Structure 1
């Protein structure tokens, strides 16, 4: 399998970045649900609220680096041809969902970082290293960044729903092998 994508299939880097992004999104969603619901003394799997916030912020920054790597790998290779089983409507939906996913992959972590810094919360990277605050306290910017972060979460949810809807239709209903294009170890052809 090639590292970079070609017109005939997704490369190893594209697949690795895709599944790493899935794992990061899943953890971020889970950690957000936990941290927003924990009271002052609550703990989940031994972690308190501040721990969950710190890991959410840390992995948000990691996700930003993964997004940059993913975009680099995409531009270094060639996008595979559309799967022949996709309808024109599905191609348009997938294209728009992909645009929304890339926007969210960059804007969510950036807006989250700006929000936490401008609101004065700061970032304890990996719960160990305090990152410097290049913004300082700025309530208006913090609130604007918080709203962008929430808006990107909604956009991300919609884009993932469209993406999953198309994939699940092909995997469960049509059973035409579309999912194999992105599975590790596969040739990427449908």
Structure 2
């Protein structure tokens, strides 16, 4: 299997980065509602979860940058023949939404925490420098953008998964194999 995408299919780098983003976003989507609901008496656990959420978000941003590079370095394989024109439109728009969310979510999260004076203790190892002063309006912009990015992510993810699940489970035409390792 090729490292980069080609006319023959998705490359191993694209597949690895795809599944890395799946794992990172799964953690983020589970940790976010948990961390905001932890009671005050669980402050240490809540703070640790917040910092892991922020750290994983920054890792996801780095992976998104790598995905864009890998996509531009190779060529996109042709559409799967089993996809209708409607499916292709859904996948195309969902993919744009997912890529946008991969950047909006971490950037707005960083704006929110840095402008709020919270900072980031990356992976529990070291504090990242905070170049921003406390700006309440930027905190609000970051918070709003983070929520809007989460909505975008959920809508785009739902559309993407809808097509994949319909083709893989209902139609059973093996669409998902295009993105599985070795597929």
* TM-score of the alignment, normalized to the shorter chain, above 0.5: yes
Question: How big is the shift at 1:42?
Answer: 2.7
Q: Partners of 2:161 and 2:35 in 1: how far apart?
A: 26
Q: Partners of 2:45 and 2:15 in 1: how far apart?
A: 34
Uncovered stretches (5+) of structure 2, i.e. residues with no partner: none
- 1:125-165 Cα offsets, whole Å, 9 max, x none, are 11221111111110001101110010000000000000000
Structure 2 residue 6 is matched with structure 1 residue 6: yes
Q: Partners of 2:161 and 2:52 in 1: how far apart?
A: 26
Uncovered stretches (5+) of structure 1, i.e. residues with no partner: none
Structure 1 residue runs of 4 or more that deviate by more than 4 Å after TM superposition:
none
Which residue number corresponds to residue 71 of structure 2?
Answer: 74
SS across alignment from 1:18: helix
Q: How many residues align?
A: 183
Q: Point out the structure with the larger helix share.
A: 2
Question: How big is the shift at 1:112?
Answer: 0.3
Q: Partners of 2:135 and 2:129 in 1: how far apart?
A: 15
Superposition TM-score, scaled by structure 2 size: 0.98
RMSD over aligned Cα, in angstroms?
A: 1.0
Matches within 5 A, 1:31-46: 31-42=31-42
SS across alignment from 1:134: coil
